[in-house]
Amino acid sequence: MTYLNFRENIYSANGEDGIIRKLFSDLNITDGIVCEFGAANGLDDSNTAALWKENYQAILLESDGGRFDGLKKNTSEHDVECIHVAVGGVRKKDMEGLEDNDSWTEEREQSDMENSIDDILEKSKFNITPDNFCLMSIDIDSYDYYVFKSMKKYFPKVLIFEVSSGYAFDEYFLSESKGCSIKAAYELGIEKGYKMICHCGNVIFVRNDLTHKLPDYDYSLENLHRGSYQFKNPE
């Protein structure tokens, strides 16, 4: 048995809904705040809709005007804060080593430093704490890695973002336009205080202070990349 065995789509695209349900059960999470960057209309391929349609509060962000209109309509009867914004907060120094780093200009950096992930969450109507911040899902077209890297203040219990799955498990790759390899995501998770516990197309992390509650799977990078785990101590 592994977390991938619990894949189920209610609103998600890659089985995240079922994995999140199992994770929350293991971590004893029953309510709190969830957040989704790149929420679209709130329902299609959403990693949070199954939660805010129950009893969770949600902060949902979308930069596209048409999608944002749909987002407000679809969430109007729930405890959801919809924010029409493009997340920023990434500096050029955080993007060193990119194959397409030359596209990063001083003007773009000045613009991008507005609306950092921490600034957006600071202004939320919800009072976010380490105990009630349950989940963050980031899906903003290959920019996910850099938003995660820019986080300084608000760290959810569970974090999800997309990687480029076509690279070998031991290949480190970063690109503003093509995203990152699973190895780059894995190492960033360690840097930010997280353990990668699942790869289902998106990668899923758990904050280090909670990992003692997880099953004793083999979470090595090679096994994660293969999309399967083995119990260290099968029951």
List the CATH number of the domain containing 72. 3.40.50.150
Please report the sign of the dihedral spanned by the C-alpha atoms of residue 29, residue 34, residue 38, residue 40: positive
Inside any domain, residue 235: no
Q: Is 4 exposed, middle or buried (0-12, 13-18, 19+ CB in 10 A)?
A: middle
Inside any domain, residue 231: no
Among residues 197, 95, 219, 84, the alpha carbon closest in space to that of 145 is found at 95
User: What pLDDT does 224 receive?
Assistant: 83
Q: With a cut of 80, say whether residue 227 has pLDDT above it.
A: no
Inside any domain, residue 169: yes
Q: With a cut of 50, say whether residue 98 has pLDDT above it.
A: no
Inside any domain, residue 134: yes
Which tokens sit at 95? 């993007």
Q: With a cut of 70, say whether residue 105 has pLDDT above it.
A: no
Inside any domain, residue 68: yes
Average pLDDT value over all residues in the chain:
86
**Higher per-residue confidence, 218 vs 55:** 55
Q: With a cut of 80, say whether residue 101 has pLDDT above it.
A: no
pTM of the model: 0.87
Domain that holds residue 129: 3-226
Which tokens sit at 91? 């500096």
Q: With a cut of 50, say whether residue 150 has pLDDT above it.
A: yes
Lowest mean pLDDT among 75-84, 119-128, 133-142: 133-142
Calpha distance 43→10 (Å, rounded): 9
Q: With a cut of 50, say whether residue 132 has pLDDT above it.
A: yes
Residue 167: which residues within 8 A CB-CB, separation 6 or more? 173, 181, 182, 183
